[in-house]
Amino acid sequence: MLKITEILTEYRKNPIGIDIEKPRFSWKLESEANDVIQEAYQIAVKNGGNITWDSGKIESNQSVLVEYSGEKLLPMTKYTVNVITWDNQSESASSSSSFETGLMGKIRATWITHELPDDEQACPVFKKEFTCKKEIASARIYSTSLGIYDLELNGKRVLDEYFSPGWTSYNNRLQYQTYDVIEYLKESNEIKATVANGWYKGNLAYEKRINIYGNKAAVLLELHITYSDDTKDIIMTDGSWMYATGEVRYSEIYHGETIDKTYEPAEWFYAHTYDHGKDVIVAQESEPVRIVKRIPAKELITTPKGETVIDFGQNLTGFVEFVCEFDKGTEIVLKHAEVLDNEGNFYLDNIRAAKATDRFITSGKMDIYRPRFTFHGFRYVLIKGIKKKIDISSMRACVLHTDMKETGSFECSNELVNQLQHNIQWGQRGNFLDIPTDCPQRDERLGWTGDAQVFASTAAYNFNTALFFAKWLKDLAADQGKNGEVPFVVPDALIRKDGKVPSSAAWGDAAVIIPWTIYRAYGDRKILEDQYESMTAWVDYLAAEAGSLYLWKTGSHFGDWLGLDMEQYFTYQKFCVDAATGSTDKYYIASAFFAYSTEIMEKTAEELGKHDDGRKYKRLHKNIVKAFQNEYITPNGRLVCETQTGMLLALKFNLVNERHRELIAERLVNNIKRHNMQMVTGFVGASYLCPVLTEAGYHDIAGELLLQTKYPSWLYPVTKGATTIWERWNGIKPDGSFENPEMNSFNHYAYGAIGDWLYRKLLGISEIKPGYKEIKISPMPISGIEFMEGSYETPYGKVSVSWKRKEDAFEIDVNIPVNTQARIEFSSSKPGVTVGSGEYHYE
C-alpha cells in the first residue's frame, strides 16, 4: 500500500510565520512493494473553505520542492495543504498538512527601549498588562529585538527556543519569530520581554569589542488575538509599556550569566519609543536553537587542588540546569571547562578571556536554575557555594544547537571509528548554533567561512542543513565587500576601521562551494538562484585580482591552516599566535581554489540556464588551468609545491593532465610513506586526503590513514578520550600536556570533514543526481573493518546500507526509498545493477 509519511513546507512540518510568497512542498512516500515510482500528484491549498490553488492532476514523479502557484498568499493566514499521489502500481495515497503566513512586511508595532545608567549590567525587562474578555480562537506573537530576547506570559515562558532573533548581519537582515500563545492567555494578562546584549551589542570577538551593531537594547512585538466572534485585538510595543531590570543581573555570551532570584525591581518606568528601521526585518529563516538533549551528570570529582567538579562525560555546547532549595541569598557559582589537566585539575587556559562563569542567587524556596542568554562549551563544571554534599542526580547538561533533523548514522566493527563518527556529529552539534561557529568555548565563537566550507558536505550527511546554510549564506552575501570580497567570518564581527573586507582563499570560496554542496545534497535550485549574485561577485573579484595572469597572487591568506609541515607566526590585527599555516605556497592554494570556484560557477550558470555566463566561466576556467600548469607544473609533471596539500589540490581540482595524474598520485603516496604513513596537512588538505587517494586508486592507503592511531591522525584524539573533534591534531600531547592554549579548542569541527568519505566511500551512499533522485550505492571496504551499517535520510526517504565480509564472501543489504532508483556497484570484477525502491540482498 502506498502511504505519504510526511508533508513539508519549505523543509518544515506545519510551520507558522512563513513569509515566502511561493512556498514549496515536499512529501515522502512509503510502500511495501518494490520498484515504486510516483506517476502523478495533485496539490490543493485552502484558506478555510476557499481553494487558493489546485494544481490539478500533474503527470510527474516530482515529490520534492514543488512550488506553490496559486492566489497571492495573505499575511497572518493559515492554509491547509492536501496532497494526492498515484504510483506505477495502481495505488494512490493522500495526506494533509498546514502552514501559516507571517506578517509579510506589515509591521505596525514601534520599537521600544530604556534609559539605564551606562554602568548598568542587568538585562532590561519590558512589560504590558491587558485583558481578554471574550473566548479566544487564536493568538500569535510576532516579535524581535536588538539583542536576544525571552518572553513570558502570565509568568510562564513562551519560547521553547533560545537566542532569538538569532545572529544575522543585523544592519542588513533582522529576523522576527512567530509563536502560538493561546494556551498562556487568561482574562487578566501580563506579558514580559527580557532583552540581553547577545551578539547585537555584547562583548564579541577576541578583540573585546562591544556595541558592534548598536548600543541600545530594544524590543518590537505584536500580539494578535482573534476571538471566537471573529473580532480581533492587537497588543503592540509602544510608549505605554513599562520597563525595569529583572532577575538577570548580568549576561554575556562569552562570560556567563548572573541570576538573582531575590531581586524585585523597586520601580517601573515608561518605555521609550526608539526610531529604528523596520525595513530589514525578515521572518525566521532556519530552525531555531533549542535544548535538543539533556545529559545527566556522570561523576562528582574532587580534584587534587580540592575543587568540586562535575563530569558530564561529553564535551558539549549549552548550560547546566538543576533544581535546588537553599537558604535565601545563597550564591552558587559554576565555571565551565572542556578538559582536566594531566594532574586532574580544572583547566581554563584554552578559553582565553572568556569567563564562562554563571552565578545563581537562590530565593529560599524551590528554585530551578537554568540560564537564558548564554552558552558554554564544556564537559566539566566546577561548582562553588554549596555547603552541603552535592546531589548530582538533579543536575543536567542541556545541549543546545540549531534544531536540525538528524539524518545520518553509521557504525562498524571498529570501535575507534565509531567514536570518531560520534565525535564528528557532536562537533557539529556544538558548533551549529544558529551559525557555523569555529568553537563554542573561548572568546571567539565566530562564523569562520573556511571551517564551514571544508565541512559542509559532511554536515549535510549528519543533519539536514538546507535551511541552516540558506540563512547563513544570505548573511555572507550581505557582508560581502563592494568588489565581491568575502570576509573571514560571517556575520562579519571583525569589521576593520578602514572598511576593507580582507579575504582568504578557501575561506572566501565558501560563497561558491557551499551553495553548490547544498544543491547537490538537496536538489534545491533556489539556493543557487538566491546566492547567484554573491557567487558571481566572488569569482569576478578573484578574476579582477588575478588579471591577465589568471593567477591569484595578491592579498594575505591562511594557507593550509594548522598544517604540520611548517610552523610560523600568523598575525592578524594584533592577534598573534603560534600557528601552523603549512608550507604549501599560499598563492598556489589561492590559484587552485580560484580554478575550483570558477568551475563550479560554470556548472551553476548552466544549471540555472544562464548559458552566456556558463560560457564566460568555462573560458575563464580554461585560462586559469592553463596558467596554473605553466606556473606550477613542469613539463615532466613535477609540482612546484609537492607537499601533501599541494598534490591533493592539483588532483582534486583536476589541475593536471591525465598524463601526469598517476605520477603525482604516486608521489603523494610516497610522501605519506616518508612521513611514516601519516598526514601533515592542515584544514585545507585534510578534507581532501582520503577522497583523493581513493579516486586515485589508493583506497588501501586511505584506509590505513583512517585507522592510524599515532599523532597526527583522526583516531589519535579518540585514544586520548576525545568526545568531539579537536582544533589541533595534538590538542593533548602524548605526554598529557597541552598545545598552545591560545589556539587549542577541543570542540572544533573542521577536521571532521573526513565524515563525507566515511559515508560516501566506506558506507557507500552518494548521489548520482542532486537531491538523491538517483542514488549510488558503492561501498568500498578497507582492511581492519569487517562490517558496517548505516543510513541517510534523503529528501525522498531513508536509504540504508549494511555490509559485511565473511571469509571469501561479501554480503550487502540495501534499502532504497520510494520514488528513487539506485545504481548498486559491487567491485570492478562484478557488474553493477540498477534497481528501484525496496529491499535487496546480495552476496
pLDDT digits over 43-86, tens only?
999 999 999 999 999 999 999 999 999 999 999 999 999 999 99
Torsion of CA 421, 423, 429, 432, to 10 degrees: -90
pLDDT above 90 (res 460): yes
Q: What is the pLDDT of residue 498?
A: 78
Predicted local distance difference test score (pLDDT) of residue 573: 35
Domain-ending residue, one of 67, 101, 135: 101
- Of all helices (H) and strands (E), which one includes residue 521? helix 510-522
Average pLDDT of the residues of the chain = 95
Residues 207 and 314 in one domain: no
Q: Looking at the structure, do residues 191 and 258 belong to the same domain, yes or no?
A: yes
**Residues 250, 263 contacting (CB under 8 angstroms):** no
- Same domain? 243 vs 300: no
- Checking if the pLDDT of 259 tops 60, the result is yes
pLDDT over 50 (residue 163): yes
Q: How far is CA 798 from its chain centroid?
A: 21
Tell how strand 92-101 and strand 16-18 pair up: parallel
Residues near 740 by Cβ (< 8 Å), separated by ≥ 6?
Answer: 577, 578
Please tell me whether residues 264 and 296 are part of one structural domain: no
What's the 3-state SS for 20-46? CCCCEEEEEEECCCCCCCEEEEEEEEE
Mean pLDDT of 249-256: 98
DSSP per-residue codes, 321-343: EEEE---TT-EEEEEEESEE-TT
Residue 259 and residue 369: Cα distance in Å, rounded? 8
What are the tens digits of pLDDT across the range 395-451? 999 999 999 999 999 999 999 999 999 999 999 999 999 999 999 999 999 999 999
| Domain-embedded: residue 677 | no
Instruction: Identify whether 310 is part of a domain.
Output: yes
Q: How many other C-beta atoms are found inside a 10 Å radius of the C-beta of residue 35?
A: 15
* Alpha carbon distances (Å) from 810 to 780, 804, 829: 11, 6, 13
Specify which residues 273 forms β-bridges with: 112
Q: State the pLDDT at residue 828.
A: 65
In this predicted model, what pLDDT tens digit does every residue of 522-536 receive, in sequence order?
Answer: 999 999 999 999 999
d(CA 714, CA 757): 13
Domain boundary among 384, 402, 420: 402
Distance CA 491, CA 478 (A): 9
User: Which CATH number do you get for residue 492?
Assistant: 1.50.10.10
Average pLDDT over residues 285-290: 98
> How many percent of the chain have pLDDT more than 90?
92
Query: What number of CA atoms fall less than 13 Å from residue 53's CA on the CB side?
Result: 21
Bin 356: left if φ > 0, else alpha if -120 < ψ < 50, else beta: left
CATH of the domain at 380: 2.60.120.260
Mean per-residue pLDDT, 451-458: 98
From residue 553, alpha-carbon distances to 512, 544, 557, 569 in Å are: 20, 11, 10, 20
Average confidence (pLDDT) over 326-353: 96
Q: Considering the candidates 39, 338, 704, 727, report the single residue annotated as catalytic.
A: 727
Q: What are the backbone angles phi and psi of residue 745, rounded to the nearest 5°?
A: -80, 140
Between CA 648 and CA 652, with CA 650 as vertex, the angle to 5 degrees is 65
Is 451:749 a contact under the CB 8 Å cutoff? Answer: yes
Q: Which of 65, 81, 101 delimits the end of a domain?
A: 101
> Position of cell 558503492?
778
Domain that holds residue 73: 3-101
- Give the whole-angstrom CA distance, residue 122 versus residue 103: 31
Residue whose grid cell is 598534490: 647
CATH number for position 781: 2.60.420.10
Confidence (pLDDT) at 46: 98
Q: What percent of the chain has pLDDT over 70?
A: 98
| 219 phi/psi in degrees, rounded to 5 | -135, 150
Say how far apart CA 374 and CA 741 lie, in whole Å.
23
Q: Which helix (H) or strand (E) holds 615?
A: helix 611-632
Kindly state the cell numbers that stand for 517. Answer: 554542496
pLDDT at residue 243 tops 70: yes
Q: Per the domain annotation, does 692 fall within a domain?
A: no
pLDDT at 572 over 50: no
In a domain, 617, yes or no: yes
Are 129 and 278 in a shared domain?
A: yes
Same domain for 276 and 129: yes
Q: Give the DSSP H or E segment for 475.
A: helix 466-479
Does a structural domain hold residue 251? yes
Statement: residue 568 has pLDDT above 90: no
- Predicted pLDDT of residue 577: 38
SS (H, E, C) 382-443: EEECCCCCCCHHHCEEEEEEECCCECEEEEECCHHHHHHHHHHHHHHHHHEECEECCCCCCC
pLDDT digits (tens, 9 = 90+) for 183-220: 999 999 999 999 999 999 999 988 778 999 999 999 99
Report how far residue 366's alpha carbon sits from residue 20's, in angstroms, rounded to the nearest whole number: 45
Q: Where does the pLDDT of residue 787 fall: very low under 50, low under 70, confident under 90, or very high at 90 and above?
A: very high
Q: Tell me: the pLDDT tens digits for 603-620?
A: 999 999 999 999 999 999
Alpha-carbon distance of 283 to 175, in angstroms, equals 5
DSSP for 632-667, please give it: HB-TTS-BS--SHHHHHHHHHTT-S-HHHHHHHHHH
Q: Within 13 Å and on the Cβ side, how many CA atoms surround 589?
A: 28
| 165 prior amide bond cis, ω within 30 | yes
Instruction: State mean pLDDT over 242-263.
Output: 97
CATH number, position 69: 2.60.40.10
324 and 241 in a common domain: no
* Pair (522, 472) in one structural domain: yes
**Preceding peptide of 795 cis, ω within 30°:** no
Q: 732 lies in a domain? A: no
The count of structural domains within the chain is 5
**111-161 pLDDT, tens digit each:** 999 998 877 899 999 999 999 989 999 999 999 999 999 999 999 999 999
Residue 650 belongs to some domain of the structure: no
Q: Write down the pLDDT at residue 569.
A: 38
166-169 long-range contacts, CB within 8 A, separation 24+: 166/284, 166/286, 166/288, 166/289, 166/434, 166/471, 167/198, 167/199, 167/434, 167/435, 167/447, 167/491, 168/471, 168/474, 168/475, 168/478, 168/491, 169/475, 169/478, 169/479, 169/490, 169/491, 169/492
Q: Is the pLDDT of residue 713 over 80?
A: yes
Domain shared by 369 and 316, yes or no: yes
Active-site residue flag, 207: no
Residues 122 and 270 both lie in one domain = yes
144 and 276 share one domain: yes
The span from the CA of 539 to the CA of 620, in Å, is 10
Q: Are residues 344 and 277 located together in one domain of the fold?
A: no
**Is 793 a residue of the active site?**
no
Interatomic CA distance for residues 766 and 691, integer angstroms: 13
Tell me the per-residue pLDDT of 464-506, one tens digit each, with 9 for 90 and over: 999 999 999 999 999 999 999 999 999 999 977 777 889 999 9
pLDDT, position 149:
98
Q: Which of 100, 285, 444, 545 is catalytic?
A: 444
Residue 259 located in a structural domain: yes
